[in-house]
A and B are shown apart, each in its own frame.
Chain A
Amino acid sequence: MSDSILHVQNLSKLYPKDTSPAVHNLSFDLKKGETVALLGRNGAGKSTALKMIMGFERPSWGEARVFGESSEELSAGTRGRIGYMAEGHPLIDWMRVAQLAEFTALTFPSWNENRFKELAALFKLDSRQRVKHLSRGQRARVSLALTMACQPELLLLDDPTLGLDVAIHRDFFRELIGEIADGGATILLSTHNLNDVSRVADRLLVLKQGVLQADTSPDAFREAFVEVFLKADGDIVGLPTQGLLSAKHQDGQWRIVFEKRSLANVQSWADREQLTLGAPGSLSLEDLFILFTEDSP
């Protein structure tokens, strides 16, 4: 626990008049230097969880502690150690980019002007432009530059690449996140982009309808399941459901995804039914995520 930067315990949010919590008993720890991706489909509770961690949403029950402080009462000093990018890159519209930088520099002692200039050059930011005139992608870049220039120890990013073009998107994951992580910062980011995440994340947290369904490494997540193809025109009968993640008929064959350790069971079922199974293969993280977070197998 001593190196735990973020401790989340039973964090839950039940909105008024809702019958099920948007986030339900979320628990995890973030250790120093870890890069963790918070994954989930739209409405899974990612942003709500991050807002509660940042103290901008009041938990219905449970708590989050950041650098040992309750998220509901974060001190100014602790906030100075955290970089937070809210979903949608909210910025003060009537300010110019330079004014935003000035405001951020004023309110973050760890502000690195040179770093901001580097990022501004990289992102091709015009410091004289008013925020309200920026495109979605430009806002994202400004937001990123401001957050990064604060050199935070803990970075909470809520869908940071939303609106970024392909090139910057790639740079963001390959270079920026990598660089920050190399500098010893701890990162928790929510995103939809699984392939990029696999390059930088040490761990995945997968939320489904507010509940934490997976807390594991990307490799372990991917290796936990295999897919096989089975040639059969009609319905298949008696497929073992134990460990079954998905079975779908497409292009004249069945695509069956199941947990790796159930491979023997599936193989013996196929033998009994005199069906020919294809060679087991692994799924991309993105494909697996989609199947994993589907409502039912």
Chain B
Amino acid sequence: MKMMLKLMSFEWKTQRWWFYSGAVLMAMLYFNMFDGFNAFKIPNDAMIGMKHSVVDFIKALTMIGDLSSYLHFPLFGLFVALLQMRQQPKADLNAFWRHRACSSSELFGAKLVLGLGYTLFVLIGYTFGKLYWVDIHAAISFEIPLIEFLPIVFPVFLGVFGYFLGALVCLPSFSLVERILLVVGGWVLFGQMSYWVFERFFMTTIIDMRFKELSGIDLLVLGLPLLFFPILFYMCAFRNRKAGMELAVYPVASFSTLVLFSFLWSFVGPGKKMTEFDPLFNVNPKITAFTRDGFPSFWKENLESGMHIGRNAITGELVEPDQQSGKPQFLRRYSARFFQALDEPGFTVKPLYVSTLKQGMRWFFVKTRGLFYLSGEENQTSGTYFGLNGLHRNPAELDAFEDLVESHPLQGAKTLLIAEHETLYANFETGEVVSLADWQPEGLGYIEGNIVIYNNERIKVFRVEQGELLSYPTPAPLKGAGILRIDATPVGIGVSLPMHPINKTMENYGKHSYSALLGWDGQIRNETSFPVEMKLSPSRRSNFWRWTPFIALLPQFDCFSLDRLEPFKNLRVTWPMMIPPQVYENEMNRVYLLIALKHVFYIWLYLGSRVPLRRLKPSQRWYRGFGILVLGFPFLISLWVVDKLEGLVSCPHCKEKRPRYGQECPYCKNDWPKAKLAGFELRKGVQLNSQEGGSSCG
């Protein structure tokens, strides 16, 4: 301990200049890349949750709210580790550093403790400093309970992940390819997962949110990546274990391969035009999109222009809507990735769209006061407030909104506000507030001046222009069905039931199995049923698991890995190892089997080229085989790329080329030939042997 303290002191003395530089550079990067010091510069997609408004409010204000800006936490950790250990990869220098009369734990530990401590200190200090700055300088005073800051601060710990990734990359014995794969795969897989875990964990525990979908096991399993790198680092650095290094490289390299493949595929993969029909109203195509993955892209409602903009999920390119056939007559919501998690069932926090009143001005909801504040994005000016009884320049004159959960901007300054036990229509321009229902809607739609809200019992339509509120019972077929979409038309409202979603992509895509057109009197005018293309009921799925748990494990991992990786969720159809989408949709069981067979094929492909030549030790065969079984194609590629195989040497006994990793031939078990002397051999006592003449003297 004493030694470690001394080493830490030395580390600080010699590295502090770099640390300072790191902090300054970080700040500059942050300023330039994210414009983070301008607390009121809000990204276009920023959304503010109301129930825990402070959390989302600060996220939006500080630009921490978007996933991309979360990257700066691990980025900083990575940066510090690289600075601290930048010279470790040089083998000889590593030897100089490590050849000390103290343990590796003390040497590395001193660096780790100091580096990690510094990382956390800077990031936490930075975050709190920023929050303080926002609180002091912003026009809006938060009056935030301290506990509500915690969720903001916890993602700072992503710096730990970045730090260990950087430290691991700096260890010797990794090749350049391995280092690249570690960074790419580590960043994509563990960075994203870590983020996701933190988000879930602290939302569910610290803020006492409902905890429906996630089990403790989920959190545990997903939390493992956070421990993965520290453990690997320990194994590789402190113990110098080769097996540990392989463990570190191969899984991460697998995901890197996956990422690189998908990247490549997005450029070379064949694309096709895909047309979306809206069967409720007519047969004309509504949207035509170019896609490489077989699924249309996510669609984004551009609130400013009223245009619907598609974005290819893979390339990210904007896809032009088919202007000729008209705009889609329904509202599609688009969530930024960060908030998709919050938008799922089980969480009470919903994204809140805040209407933009005019250029550069934005409404914020301050939960502690229950009022909306109008504030500039750039100049921090404010002075207008909006409460239950309208607009006012003095907030004391206003009644507070209570228990607001979410809001839905409709058009211009018109917004639907959802409270826990009430649904309100608010016009932020005129100050008009109308109570539409004393319940939270399960779904809503807005078109051409009509607001439609519904729950299992009632459908209500508020005709904004006429100020008329219609109400009638929800038709029987729609009760409890989980209505996917609701549209308002000049002649009535259209309601659609979803097909069973197999993944988020299709969920957003919005195919439906039943549609009904209701008249304003509440009667069904038109009814259409569509064949449900994929039936995967929970019971059938569980049966499948029961009977084929082993095989089911394989595609589960495929699905898991692809579903969980938000940016790569469409890979199931783009990646060469994956299967055609139509197969996936129609025959789930066959898909499982197909993937299982493919994995077995991969194992055969890999081990078939290795085992007969005994190029793998028995232990290597097992874990590599298992790795391919579970991780599939990317693991196979990683092995081929990263493998360091012993050379093949001709065995004089079995007359074949064999790998040589010991004193005996792994195939025939005979000793390899002794070292071949070339010329003379001299030993102590002047023993002289001449190979040429075979003489022996002495």
| A residues apposed to B, CB below 8 Å | 10, 14-21, 24-25, 51, 54-56, 58, 60-62, 72, 75-77, 79-80, 82, 84, 86-88, 90-95, 99, 102-103, 106-110, 203, 206, 208-217, 220-221, 223-224, 240-245, 259, 261-262, 292, 294-297
User: What's the Cα separation between A236 and B219 when bound, in Å?
Assistant: 85
Across the interface, B682 reaches (CB within 8 A) one of A108, A216, A295, namely A216
User: What's the Cα separation between A87 and B663 when bound, in Å?
Assistant: 29
Number of B residues, CB within 8 Å of A: 55
User: What's the Cα separation between A91 and B87 when bound, in Å?
Assistant: 10
CB of B93 closer than 8 Å to a CB of A: yes
CB of B692 closer than 8 Å to a CB of A: yes
A16-B644, A206-B682, A211-B677 given; A54·B688 CB < 8 A: no
Which B residues lie within 8 Å of A223 (CB)?
686
Complex interface residues of chain B between 677 and 698 (CB less than 8 A to chain A): 677-686, 688, 690, 692-695, 697
CB of B674 closer than 8 Å to a CB of A: yes
**Could you pull out 9 A-B pairs where Cβ atoms are within 8 angstroms?**
A21-B660, A24-B675, A56-B98, A80-B101, A203-B684, A209-B678, A243-B688, A244-B692, A296-B678
User: What's the Cα separation between A213 and B680 when bound, in Å?
Assistant: 7
Which A residues lie within 8 Å of B693 (CB)?
240-244
Which B residues lie within 8 Å of A212 (CB)?
675
B647 touches A14 (CB 8 A): yes
CB of B550 closer than 8 Å to a CB of A: no
User: What's the Cα separation between A221 and B675 when bound, in Å?
Assistant: 21
B686 touches A220 (CB 8 A): yes
A210 touches B675 (CB 8 A): yes
A261 nearest CB neighbor, chain B only: B697
CB of B662 closer than 8 Å to a CB of A: yes
CB of B676 closer than 8 Å to a CB of A: yes
Encoded as 1 (CB less than 8 Å from any A CB) or 0, chain B from 438 to 449 comes to 000000000000
Which B residues lie within 8 Å of A80 (CB)?
100-101
User: What's the Cα separation between A44 and B80 when bound, in Å?
Assistant: 40
A146 nearest CB neighbor, chain B only: B96
Which B residues lie within 8 Å of A208 (CB)?
678-679
A90 touches B93 (CB 8 A): yes
CB of B242 closer than 8 Å to a CB of A: yes
A90 touches B663 (CB 8 A): no
Q: Contacting chain A: which of B6-14, B394-402, B530-538? A: B6-14
| B residues apposed to A, CB below 8 Å | 3, 6-7, 10, 13-14, 87, 90-103, 106-107, 240, 242, 644-649, 660-663, 674-686, 688, 690, 692-695, 697
A76 touches B97 (CB 8 A): no
A213 touches B695 (CB 8 A): no
A243-B695, A259-B690 given; A92·B101 CB < 8 A: no
User: What's the Cα separation between A268 and B96 when bound, in Å?
Assistant: 57
A19 touches B662 (CB 8 A): no
Which A residues lie within 8 Å of B101 (CB)?
76-77, 79-80, 107-110
- Nearest Cβ in chain A — how far from B551, in angstroms? 35
Which B residues lie within 8 Å of A216 (CB)?
682-686
A106 touches B91 (CB 8 A): no
Which A residues lie within 8 Å of B682 (CB)?
206, 213-216, 220-221, 224
B662 touches A224 (CB 8 A): no
B92 touches A88 (CB 8 A): yes
A18 touches B647 (CB 8 A): yes
User: What's the Cα separation between A72 and B239 when bound, in Å?
Assistant: 10
B662 touches A60 (CB 8 A): yes
A223-B686, A261-B688, A261-B697 given; A99·B14 CB < 8 A: yes
User: What's the Cα separation between A216 and B687 when bound, in Å?
Assistant: 9
A54-B99, A76-B103, A93-B87 given; A214·B680 CB < 8 A: yes
A109 nearest CB neighbor, chain B only: B101
B99 touches A90 (CB 8 A): no
A92 touches B96 (CB 8 A): yes
Across the interface, A297 reaches (CB within 8 A) one of B87, B677, B692, B697, namely B692
Which B residues lie within 8 Å of A16 (CB)?
644-647
- The 10 A-B pairs at the shortest CB distance, nearest first, are namely A80-B101, A242-B693, A214-B682, A107-B100, A90-B92, A16-B644, A24-B675, A90-B93, A211-B675, A19-B647
Which A residues lie within 8 Å of B679 (CB)?
208, 213, 245, 292, 294, 296-297
Which B residues lie within 8 Å of A295 (CB)?
678
User: What's the Cα separation between A110 and B681 when bound, in Å?
Assistant: 40
User: What's the Cα separation between A215 and B681 when bound, in Å?
Assistant: 8
B103 touches A242 (CB 8 A): no
- Nearest Cβ in chain B — how far from A82, in angstroms? 7
Which B residues lie within 8 Å of A99 (CB)?
13-14
A86 touches B10 (CB 8 A): no
B648 touches A19 (CB 8 A): yes
User: What's the Cα separation between A222 and B695 when bound, in Å?
Assistant: 19
Which of A87, A99, A220 gathers the greatest number of chain B CB atoms within 10 Å? A220
- Nearest Cβ in chain A — how far from B203, in angstroms? 43
A24-B675, A77-B101, A216-B682 given; A259·B7 CB < 8 A: no
User: What's the Cα separation between A259 and B102 when bound, in Å?
Assistant: 49
User: What's the Cα separation between A77 and B87 when bound, in Å?
Assistant: 25
- Nearest Cβ in chain A — how far from B616, in angstroms? 13
A95 nearest CB neighbor, chain B only: B14
B661 touches A79 (CB 8 A): no
